[in-house]
Chains A and B, each alone.
Chain A
C-alpha cells in the first residue's frame, strides 16, 4: 500500500509541478498571480474532449489541437486582457482582478456549453499494471508522471539553454533593461502565457485521463494546490515549483495512506501554513526575487 501511494503521490506531484510552473513563469515575469491559470487547465482538457468527440480526431491530434488552441487562449488572455492594462500603466490589482474575471468567464462559458456535470474522458494510458517491491503499480500512473516530468525537463532546457529562454529570464529580472537591449518584451510575455497555458493543458489532459472524467470545476482545487506548491517552493523559481509540487503530491497521498481520504484537500494548505511560518519566502525562494 505504501509503495503504491508513494508512486501515486509522485505522479500527481509532477502534475502539480507542471501547473505550478505555469504560475511561477507568469508571476516571475509580471509579478502577477494569474488566476486564469486554473481555468486554462480545465479548458485544455475540454479541448482534447472537443477534438475527440466533435472533430473526431485521433487522440494525439486531439492533444495537439488542445495545445494549440489553449496556448492561443493564453496568448489572447494576455493580449486582450492584460496588455492594454500594462499600456495604461494600471495597478497590479486591476490586472489581478482582470484575471479573476477572465477565469470566471472561461469556466462559466464551459459550463454553458458542456454543463457542469461529469463527462466521461478516455483513459489514454490503460496498459495494465506491474509488480514492484510487492506492490501493484498501474502503468497509467508511471506514464502520467513520466510525461509530466519530460515536459518539465524540456521546459527547463528551453528556459536555461535557448536564446528565447535567456530573453525570458532577462525580462523577468529587469524588464526595462531587456527592452533597451532589443527584446520585444510584449512578445516574450505572450510567449510566457503560451507556454504556461500549453503546459496547463497537458496537465489537465493527464489528470482527466487519470480520473477518466472531466468537469468544468476540475481546475478549482488543482489550481489552488498548484499555486500553493509554487509558493511553497518559492514562487518565481522553477526548481522551487517542482519541489513544491512533489512535496504536496507525496504528502497528500501519504495522508490518504495514514488518515484516509476525507481531509486530503487540507494537507496542502496546512503544509503551506507551516512552511511559510518558518520560511516566509518558500523553500527555494529568496527575498529579492519574490518581492511583490
Chain B
C-alpha cells in the first residue's frame, strides 16, 4: 500500500468538509475519486498533500505518517499534484514552469526530467520558450501534469484533468494518464467525468458531502445502479 488515509476530518472554519474519510491506494494502481461538486474531492487531495491539515485522522505514505508534515516535505517524499484549474505560472515560460516542478531536484536529474516530460508531451517541447499564460487550455493541462511529473513522484494526484477540454483532448489526456501509470507512477484521479475515469481506473471511491459512500473496483462501480443513476447518466 503506497497511500493510506485513515478517518480524516477536515474543516474550513466551521464547515465540516471531510467526515471520517478513509481510502487506500496500492502501488501501480489508478484509483478514481468521484463525486459531485462540493463532495470534498479537492479537499481530500489538499489534505493528503498537506495544504489543509486535518483535525483528526492519519495519513500514511509508504508507511510513514505524513499527517502533520509540511507540504514541501511531502512533495519531497514523492507525492505530486496537478491542481484543479491547472494553476500554471502564467508569466513563466513552459520550461521555467517545468523547472519549478523540479525545484527539489539537482543537475542531471532535471535534464532527465525534461526528457521524460517532453517525450510524453512533445507539444510542450515545441512551446518551451512561450509564456505559459498564452497556451491553450489543453496545453496548460499537459503542462500542469508535466510539472508534477518533473519531481518524478511515486504517487501522482490529478485534480479534474479533463475539466473544460474538448472531447478529443479529454480522450488524449486519459490515454496519457494510463501511459504514465504504465511507466510506473501510481495515480489518484479526481474526475467529474465519472464514466471515463471508471474506465481507466482499477478501483474507485464515491464521495458524497464529505463522506465515502462507496468503495469498490471500477468495474463493479460502473455496474452499480446508484452510481449509474447519479454519475454515469442513467
Contact = CB atoms under 8 A, between A and B. Distances in A.
B68 to A, nearest CB: 14
B103 A167 contact: yes
A256 interface: no
Nearest to A184: B72
B112 to A, nearest CB: 17
A166 B72 CA distance: 16
B147 interface: yes
Interface in B11-48: none
A119 B103 CA distance: 47
Contact of B151 (A181, A184, A289): A181
A183 B51 contact: no
Nearest to A289: B91
B89 interface: yes
Given A166-B100, A182-B72, A182-B103, A177 B92 contact: no
A181 B88 contact: no
Contacts of A181: 75, 100-101, 103, 147-148, 151
Given A179-B72, A180-B83, A182-B75, A170 B51 contact: no
Contacts of B91: 169, 173, 289
Nearest to A170: B100
A166 B147 CA distance: 14
B88 A174 contact: yes
B89 A173 contact: yes
Interface string B96-124: 10011101100000000000000000000
Contact of A166 (B49, B71, B99): B99
Contacts of A184: 70, 72
Contacts of B72: 179, 182-184
Contacts of B101: 181
A181 B71 CA distance: 9
- Give the size category of B's interface with A: 20 to 34
B103 A174 contact: no
B93 to A, nearest CB: 11
B201 interface: no
A178 interface: yes
A176 B51 contact: yes
A174 B109 CA distance: 24
B164 interface: no
Contacts of B100: 166-167, 170, 178, 181, 183
A174 B71 contact: no
Nearest to A183: B103
Contact of A180 (B81, B88, B92, B99): B81
B95 to A, nearest CB: 11
B87 interface: yes
Interface in A152-168: 163, 166-167
A25 to B, nearest CB: 15
Contacts of B90: 173-174, 288
B85 to A, nearest CB: 9
Nearest to A167: B103
Nearest to A180: B81
A167 B90 CA distance: 14
Contacts of B51: 176, 179-180
Contacts of A174: 87-90
A184 B72 CA distance: 6
A174 B99 CA distance: 15
B156 to A, nearest CB: 11
Interface of A: 163, 166-167, 169-170, 173-174, 176-184, 288-289
